[in-house]
């Protein structure tokens, strides 16, 4: 009779001291202020007793979190367009303090919906890139035509240009992400290009093709942008500038078409009735397309787990981003990259 | 009484000898063979008595056109992935012969749905670029959120990389197209980038920003891919590699969403009934998104009018492409570029 509670206590302590995952959340800098971020943290804590959260931001805006998580007062907001020097000087900013917690080993992961450039600079400058990684890369999972299947694309905007060797490193990081986070066995990797033949592509792309062909057993060749979401690719590698264009072109078109669909249904009573019939199908579609559920973009290649939530973060996307951060820590992605690169 | 017929006769001859537009159509190399191209020509000729067509291809496949237009027998098909040297050696190919007709001044415009690379090489090598134009560019009008408004984007794939000076030239050509072909007064030009601030962009992009700012009064700054179709831009300038990624990412997403919408309506009798209600709205959407109606991509910057139809050309897209070719000749676009550059 005595054994059971003892075993339970032991496990409990084991979880607390060895596996309690600690995540710092920058609650400032998002388009909608700290309120939705706070709500996202509250929701996450309800479902995840094994995670300890450090909320960083304006103390007076974090009252709802008192007693539920550690609070760090850092009232300054890094401006959207801050350069690297500016961020590194803003030592009282929520962003700088958040990333510093990771640097000092006080947390395992950081999450922010603030300035992308600022978060990128502070993360790479404070946490440093993993040995063997020249450049960190933003990676994000995209929906595909194949239900439930996601393709990861990187870099979607950490760099303005990349070398062939950097693209090779992105491939390795993407494959590790696909394997360990999305559970894809033996992921298939493609290089984003303007045609499928090896001779297609930008000068750097052509060089990267040769390098990947020679070194990466997952590499299957070039892929055109129109097929990146077709479902057969697991990892799509591209330089940061092109990846950003791809991401935003897809996003823009998806938004434009959603708007047109909504208009088609809004016209009159009959079209509204029409909507009732296809509501379920439309919901499935918007779930497939919902970038919020993917937890934003992850910065791979730095010593730590860094998750960037969309600037327009709400409660749900914050929840999802913390969930992804937790998973990245559990799967020890940074160390896997260290070994794999 | 005598004057009228005389006047008429004079006008008639004037039209015939001075204004009869001559267009050569390559009927081979498309995914669906020559039949839909022939049908497109027939439809076009019904509505356009003032255009003389030269159909180039396998003589036996052009029987329907006998007596209606000139026929040039050229049975060889340029393969999809032909390099420049290969095309220039295929002197019996429909593509080479079509472009040669323009080179020899026998036609004012050429249209093809064959190999894009082959058409690009033969057009630039045979027709040469306009003095002052370093590189020809593929341009296409895209639908936007603003009903009826189109934005032209170039280059969408003629080059794999471009210099800042080439991007500046693209801006001038795009503006002339927007003004004279789409009738936009004082078009607004943007540079496709990964952010709106001047410091954003690839190294070449940043240089092009400065050049455009200094020389182009239409230039309004950078535009992100997600806003390229928002409706406020008339001309979007980009290098050929990035433009191709933009084009195909938009296309891929549009296709994916259309597929999902169709599935949502196909599920059962009720969803099919739902479709009946929104049929009109959906039709409006597909009309907005219909790339076929834009007549494919135009190659700007060469001495002549060159229109590339989508490889998957059907009767309607062929019709539209010839219509665009006619308009480009009427508006004397090549000479306008010569003067404007």
3-state secondary structure chain A: CCHHHHHHHHHHHHHHHHHCEEEEEECCCCCCCCHHHHHHHHHHHHHCCCEEEEEEECHHHCHHHCCCCEEEECCECCCCCCCHHHHHHCCCEHHHHHHHHHHCCCCCEEEECCCHHHHHHHHHHHHCECCCCCCCEEEEEEECCCCCCEEEEECCCCCCCCCHHHHHHHHHHHHHHHHHCCCCCCCCEEEEECCCCCCCCCHHHHHHHHHHHHHCCCEEEEEEHHHCCCCCCCEEECCHHHHHHHHHHHHHHHHHHHHHHHHHHHCCHHHHHHHHHHHHHHHHHHHHHCHHHHCCEEEECECCEEEECCCCCCHHHHHHHHHHHHHHHHCCHHHHHHHHC
Tokens of A273: 């009735």
pLDDT tens sequence across A178-219: 999 999 999 999 999 999 999 899 999 999 999 999 999 999
Residue A151, phi-psi category: left (phi > 0), alpha (psi -120 to 50), beta (remainder)? beta
A97, A182: one domain: no
Tokens of B324: 């665009």
The answer to whether residue B295 sits within a structural domain is: no
Percent of chain A with pLDDT over 90: 72
Q: What is the CA radius of gyration of chain B?
A: 21
* pLDDT of A294: 67
- Could you give the dihedral angle defined by the CA atoms of residues B40, B44, B45 and B46, in that order, rounded to the nearest 10 degrees? 110
Name all contacts of A77-81 with Cβ < 8 Å and 24+ positions apart: A77/A28, A77/A29, A77/A114, A78/A29, A78/A114, A78/A115, A78/A118, A78/A119, A78/A122, A79/A115, A79/A118, A80/A29, A80/A114, A80/A115, A80/A117, A80/A118, A80/A311, A81/A115, A81/A117, A81/B197
* pLDDT of B4: 44
| pLDDT greater than 70 at residue A43 | yes
* pLDDT of B94: 97
Q: Which residue of B has its CA nearest to A269?
A: B277
Q: CA end-to-end span of chain A, whole Å? A: 50
B280, B330: one domain: no
| Predicted model pTM | 0.88
- B245 touching A (Cβ < 8 Å): yes
A122, A5: one domain: yes
Specify whether the CB–CB gap between A174 and A138 falls below 8 A: no
pLDDT tens sequence across A221-266: 999 999 999 999 999 999 999 999 999 999 888 888 888 777 777 7
A285, A332: one domain: no
Q: How far is B180 from chain A (nearest CA, A)?
A: 27
The answer to whether residue B120 sits within a structural domain is: yes
B188, B250: one domain: yes
Question: How far, in Å, are B90, B174, B207, B259 from residue B233 at the CA level?
Answer: 41, 12, 21, 28
CB contacts, 8 Å: B197 with chain A:
81
pLDDT tens sequence across A109-138: 999 999 999 999 999 999 999 999 999 999
- Which of B268, B290, B312 is the endpoint of a domain? B290
Q: Are the Cβ atoms of A281 and B263 closer than 8 angstroms?
A: yes
Report the pLDDT averaged over residues A20-35: 94
A152, A232: one domain: yes
Report the pLDDT averaged over residues B135-142: 94
Going by DSSP bridges, is the β-strand pair B70-73/B51-57 parallel, antiparallel, or unpaired? parallel
| pLDDT greater than 90 at residue B60 | yes
A23, A84: one domain: yes
Average pLDDT, chain A: 89
B124, B164: one domain: no
The answer to whether residue B166 sits within a structural domain is: yes
The answer to whether residue B296 sits within a structural domain is: no
Report the pLDDT averaged over residues A27-41: 94
A165, A283: one domain: yes
Domain of B3 in residue numbering reads as 1-133+301-341
Q: How far is A40 from chain B (nearest CA, A)?
A: 27
- A287 touching B (Cβ < 8 Å): no
Mutation choice for A interface testing from B252, B266, B279 by most A CBs within 10 A: B252
Q: Are the Cβ atoms of A274 and B277 closer than 8 angstroms?
A: yes
- The pLDDT confidence band at residue B96, using thresholds 50, 70 and 90, is very high
- Which of A256, A276, A293 is the endpoint of a domain? A293
> For position B22, which CATH number holds?
3.40.718.10
* Residue of higher predicted confidence among A318 and A290: A318
Mutation choice for B interface testing from A84, A150, A277, A297 by most B CBs within 10 A: A277
* pLDDT of B292: 61
A254, A259, A280 ranked by CB distance to B145: nearest:
A259
Q: Which ipTM was obtained for this model?
A: 0.87
Mutation choice for B interface testing from A247, A260, A271, A285 by most B CBs within 10 A: A260
* pLDDT of A273: 73
- The pLDDT confidence band at residue B15, using thresholds 50, 70 and 90, is very low
* pLDDT of A153: 96
- The pLDDT confidence band at residue B339, using thresholds 50, 70 and 90, is very high
Report the pLDDT averaged over residues B310-336: 91
Specify whether the CB–CB gap between A318 and A41 falls below 8 A: yes
Per DSSP, what are the bridge partners of residue B110? B24, B306
B84, B162: one domain: no
* Residue of higher predicted confidence among A269 and B21: B21
The answer to whether residue B282 sits within a structural domain is: yes
Report the pLDDT averaged over residues B256-263: 80
Average pLDDT, chain B: 89
Q: Are the Cβ atoms of B278 and A264 closer than 8 angstroms?
A: yes
A243, A147: one domain: yes
A window 189-228, beta carbon within 8 A of B: 192, 194, 197, 200-203, 205, 224-228
Question: How far, in Å, are A214, A313, B249 from residue A251 at the CA level?
Answer: 34, 16, 9
B window 149-178, beta carbon within 8 A of A: 157, 160-161
A42, A108: one domain: yes
The number of domains in chain A is: 2
- Which of B290, B315, B332 is the endpoint of a domain? B290
Q: Are the Cβ atoms of A285 and B260 closer than 8 angstroms?
A: yes
The answer to whether residue B338 sits within a structural domain is: yes
Q: Which residue of B has its CA nearest to A146?
A: B256
Q: Are the Cβ atoms of B257 and A254 closer than 8 angstroms?
A: yes
Report the pLDDT averaged over residues B200-218: 96
Report the pLDDT averaged over residues B268-284: 71
């Amino acid at each position: 009779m005595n054994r059971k509670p003892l075993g339970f206590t032991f496990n409990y302590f084991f979880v607390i001291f060895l596996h309690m995952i600690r995540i710092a959340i920058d609650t400032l800098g998002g388009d909608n202020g700290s309120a939705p971020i706070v709500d996202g943290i509250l929701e996450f804590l309800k479902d995840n007793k094994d995670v300890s959260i450090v909320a960083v931001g304006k103390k007076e805006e974090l009252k709802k979190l008192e007693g539920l998580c550690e609070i760090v007062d850092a009232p300054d907001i890094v401006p959207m367009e801050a350069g690297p020097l500016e961020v590194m000087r803003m030592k009282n900013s929520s962003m700088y303090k958040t990333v510093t917690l990771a640097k000092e080993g006080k947390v395992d992961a950081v999450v922010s919906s603030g300035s992308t450039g600022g978060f990128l600079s502070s993360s790479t400058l404070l946490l440093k890139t993993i040995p063997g990684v020249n450049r960190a890369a933003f990676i994000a999972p995209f929906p595909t035509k194949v239900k439930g299947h996601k393709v990861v694309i990187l870099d979607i905007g950490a760099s303005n240009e990349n070398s062939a060797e950097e693209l090779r490193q992105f491939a390795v990081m993407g494959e590790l992400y696909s394997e360990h986070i999305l559970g894809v066995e033996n992921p298939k990797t493609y290089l984003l290009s303007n045609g499928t033949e090896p001779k297609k592509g930008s000068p750097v792309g052509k060089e990267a093709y040769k390098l990947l062909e020679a070194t990466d057993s997952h590499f299957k060749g070039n892929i055109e942008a129109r097929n990146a979401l077709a479902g057969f690719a697991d990892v799509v590698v591209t330089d940061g500038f092109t990846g950003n264009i791809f991401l935003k072109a897809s996003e823009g078109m998806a938004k434009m078409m959603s708007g047109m669909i909504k208009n088609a249904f809004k016209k009159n009573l009959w079209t509204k009735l029409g909507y009732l019939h296809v509501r379920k199908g439309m919901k499935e579609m918007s779930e497939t397309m919902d970038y919020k559920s993917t937890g934003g973009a992850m910065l791979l290649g730095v010593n730590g787990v860094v998750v960037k939530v969309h600037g327009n973060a709400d409660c749900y996307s914050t929840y999802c981003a913390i969930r992804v951060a937790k998973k990245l820590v559990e799967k020890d992605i940074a160390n896997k990259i260290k070994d794999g690169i």
